[in-house]
Amino acid sequence: MNGSDWYTALSVGLYGLRKRIFEIVEHCEDDDPVSQCYDRLLILCIFCSILPLCFKGESEMLDAMDHAAVNMFIVDYFLRWLTADFRKPSYHGAAFFYYPIGFMAILDVVSVLPSLIVLNPGWKVMRLLRLSRSLRAIRLFRYSKGFRVIAVAVKKEKQALEAVLWMAIAYIFVSALVMFSVEPGSFHSFFDAVYWSVVTLTTVGYGDVYPVTDIGRLVSMLSSLVGIAIIALPTGIMTAGFMSELQNHIGDDE
């Protein structure tokens, strides 16, 4: 066997190995026990890395669990980078350059930074980095089939949800502007009026900022009714989209 044959055989072997790694680290298939075990191992690592956040003090056992989980996350990151061209086949070799700037890749890096950067614990920046460790919980969505169905439903209903979002923003601004005009004594700034409008939109009603005049209360009642209608719109859109996608998912499985 000459040099070119060895090169061809090596290339084919590496391609097959990378493809198998991609099948394992990507979305778990029901008939692939190795992929299932890998996903469960990553989920366990996520829980182990988040557990130290539940305690104020430090513990050698918790630190060891965190370091072991971080090492697994690093391995997972490079495995996904190694197989980036399978995830985006249309990008070809450019997929390896686009992967590190993807949302999930950036999330993976940020979530492990607190365990990798060695700084004085008294530095305030460490407090910010510690908060980023909680981002590891978002990684759980990657291994949830239910979340993938929801993500597809959101993508399909993107235009309708964007319309509702702009409607909510317009409602917040207009109602805040009206209330700020009719109730200048109850709101020290326009931001207070915007805060009241958001609280009214979500029907929370903390009661720390409220109108005291009759016209202000009338505007508040109307705003509450409109807010309920706006909040109900995305719920109905998401429910319809989710049920449609769930039916498609069940049909594909059958």
- DSSP code per residue over 169-192: HHHHHHHHHHHHHH-TTT-SSHHH
Q: What is the pLDDT of residues 206-252, one digit of tens each?
A: 777 778 888 888 888 888 888 888 888 888 888 887 777 777 766 65
Query: With contact defined as beta carbons under 8 Å apart, do 28 and 40 qualify?
Result: no
Query: With contact defined as beta carbons under 8 Å apart, do 249 and 149 qualify?
Result: yes
CA distance 175 to 83: 50
Query: With contact defined as beta carbons under 8 Å apart, do 48 and 65 qualify?
Result: yes
Q: CA angle at residue 132 from 43 to 148, to 5 degrees?
A: 45
| Three-class secondary structure of residue 207 per DSSP | coil
**In this structure, how many other beta carbons lie within 10 angstroms of the beta carbon of residue 17?**
12
Record the pTM: 0.58
Ordered per-residue pLDDT tens for the chain, 254 residues: 555 666 677 777 787 888 888 888 876 556 678 887 887 888 788 778 777 777 777 778 888 888 888 888 888 889 888 888 888 877 777 888 888 888 778 877 877 776 766 544 444 444 444 555 556 566 666 666 667 777 777 788 888 888 888 888 888 888 888 888 888 788 888 888 888 888 888 777 777 777 888 888 888 888 888 888 888 888 888 888 777 777 776 665 55
Q: What is the pLDDT of residues 103-129, one digit of tens each?
A: 778 877 877 776 766 544 444 444 444
Q: Tokens at residue 172, please?
A: 């917040």
**In this structure, how many other beta carbons lie within 10 angstroms of the beta carbon of residue 197?**
25
